[in-house]
């Protein structure tokens, strides 16, 4: 198309010298052809510009590499939390961390494939992608858990987000491979932690303080030495009471003291 427009332009040069009125008409025709030929090129540049790193906001592109769910992991989440904590110092900025845990029924129907847990994670990841706003950040902590940074967002936003995720997941139960067997409804457990600008802390501390993070990955602390000493004292006191009771009953019956 471009070559045709150029060829017509060359032919018009000779025509202009002979017939000026025809030259004007030919120039307008070739100009339209040239613009039409360049339209795909311009559209291609526009689509390419949309894929450049600086073309879109940092949050706008969610092509997140993280296994089959295409979500970034814990390191990326901590980096994002650092930015949110810095922005939360402003009164107009609020952010909330939401942890979403995939839950499967205890009794899985026979006939489900061994990768049912992975399929459930994919289901929840897709639901999070539909429910999350462009300003929210979805990341994957491990096989069964996701973290969503709601920005802007407070505790009420987190509650509404959790309900929407539960509904989105429940509306799409897992179907056994081959179509045989009863569908399994996947459930999610949602915990909400508001980012507190008045309490300076590191992003890792924010993540560890989240209820879901504490209950699922933080190891149980061993009993303190004070508690151990208290338990030992209780045992000794009980032993003394038993001994005193035995001696008292022996003296009352005239038995050996």
pLDDT tens figures, 211-220: 544 333 333 3
- For the four alpha carbons of 58, 123, 162 and 130, in that order, the dihedral sign comes to positive
Q: Which has the higher per-residue pLDDT, 185 or 7?
A: 185
pLDDT over 70 (residue 235) = no
* CATH value of 74-216 in 3.30.590.20, 3.30.70.270, 3.40.50.300, 3.30.420.40: 3.30.70.270
Q: How far apart are CA 257 and CA 142, in angstroms?
A: 65
Q: Which residue has better confidence, 190 or 182?
A: 190
Q: Over 70: is that where the pLDDT of 243 sits?
A: no
Q: pLDDT digit string (tens) for 77-86?
A: 566 656 655 5
Burial call 49-66: b when 16+ CB within 10 Å, e when fewer: eeeeeeeeeeeeeeebeb
Q: Is 181 exposed, middle or buried (0-12, 13-18, 19+ CB in 10 A)?
A: middle
pTM above 0.85, yes or no: no
Range list of H helices, 52-194: 74-87, 116-131, 155-170
pLDDT at 167: 92
User: Between 136 and 49, where is the model more confident?
Assistant: 136
pLDDT for 168 equals: 92
Label residue 223 by pLDDT band (50, 70, 90).
Answer: very low
Q: Which has more pLDDT, 72 or 61? A: 72
pLDDT at 157 over 60: yes
Rounded mean pLDDT, 117-124? 85
């Amino acid at each position: 198309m471009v070559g045709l427009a150029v060829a017509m332009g060359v032919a018009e040069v000779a025509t202009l010298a002979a017939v000026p009125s025809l030259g004007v008409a030919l120039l307008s025709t070739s100009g339209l052809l040239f613009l039409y030929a360049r339209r795909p090129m311009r559209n291609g540049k526009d689509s390419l510009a949309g894929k450049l790193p600086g073309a879109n906001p940092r949050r706008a592109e969610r092509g997140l590499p993280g296994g089959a769910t295409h979500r970034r992991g814990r390191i990326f989440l901590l980096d994002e939390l650092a930015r949110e904590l810095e922005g939360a110092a402003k009164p107009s900025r609020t952010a909330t961390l939401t942890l979403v845990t995939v839950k499967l029924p205890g009794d899985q129907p026979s006939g489900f494939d061994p990768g049912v847990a992975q399929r459930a994670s994919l289901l929840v990841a897709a639901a999070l992608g539909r429910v999350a706003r462009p300003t929210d950040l979805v990341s994957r902590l491990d096989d069964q858990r996701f973290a969503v940074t709601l920005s802007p967002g407070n505790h009420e936003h987190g509650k509404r987000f959790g309900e929407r995720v539960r509904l989105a997941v429940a509306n799409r139960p897992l179907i056994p491979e081959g179509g045989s067997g009863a569908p399994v409804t996947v459930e999610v457990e949602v915990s909400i932690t508001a980012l507190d600008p008045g309490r300076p802390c590191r992003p890792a501390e924010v993540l560890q303080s989240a209820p879901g993070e504490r209950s699922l990955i933080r190891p149980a602390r061993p009993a303190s030495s004070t508690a151990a000493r208290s338990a030992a004292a209780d045992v000794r006191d009980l032993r003394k009471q038993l001994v005193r009771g035995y001696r008292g009953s022996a003296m009352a019956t005239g038995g050996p003291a």
